[in-house]
Amino acid sequence: MAEQKEKRPYVPLPVSAEAAGTAPGRGRLTGKRILIVGGGQRTVDATTDPVGNGRAMSLLFAREGAHVAIADMDTESANATLNQLTAEGGKAVAITADISKPDQVEKMVGDAHTALGGLDGIVLNVGIGAGMRLDGSTPDLWDQVLAVNLRGPMLACRAALPVMADGGAILFISSVASMKPGSRMPSYDASKAALGGLMRHVALEAEPKAIRANIVAPGLIDTPLGRLSSQGRPSRARTNIPGGRQGTGWEVAYAALFLMSGEASYVNGQILAVDAGLTTIR
């Protein structure tokens, strides 16, 4: 009888200094001028909230030497990110803008370009969800979600491309819900999937200026918005994630940092899932 191999104990994914947001900056974005749309974050419980993706990117990019424009429809939240960033010695400005409003998108890009003295990159970290399942998806809710998640990024790219510096980068924040049904909200899944088509077209139109366009697709990330989603759908928190834990906003931010930096100068038109393998080995 063949000897059975001893089962190896389960080892969860470690939380590195980068994943915890405590690693020092390394100058990877020195001199870059970057607009982060959605640089604030939702407040669920101010005493226990972890960092959100947008705030983590704003803080990290500044630590890495970028001059950041933090745009958000929530002025108070954008200013909170700004205050934390400047307290660390970073350079930033805050801009209030609702990406679902075309006139505000134009003004946001113009204000960022003026305040930063140019524009080398833009991150589109926006997303709302509404309408559970098809029977809860009304036409109005569908249009509301796509106006923010898809039309808004299109308008931002349309406004930004003509004024961006050559060799810049555009990053869309999508979701693994674009790859497999998970949110239970058809409008959200469909809008995040459609970002792939938009991203590839932007990469094509931006080619003459050597501006790259890519996507980061986060999986289950422990952010204030993630915790709010788990309250509405408790099964989310019980998902069998490879590595045994949800990700952090910092882990999303470091993936974004790579794609916005010169380290990714030959990466264009691609989708990077930050999900511990949820979409590939589960």
Beta strands in 97-202 (DSSP E): 121-124, 169-173
Contact 33, 67 (CB under 8 A): yes
SS3 191: helix
Contact criterion met (CB below 8 Å) for 60 and 36: no
CA gap 132, 121 in Å, rounded: 34
Q: Enumerate the active-site residues.
A: 188
- How far apart CA 209 and CA 211 sit, in angstroms, is 5
Task: Give the span between the Cα atoms of 161 and 173, in whole angstroms.
Answer: 18
Spatial CB neighbours of 258, under 8 Å, sequence gap ≥ 6: 264
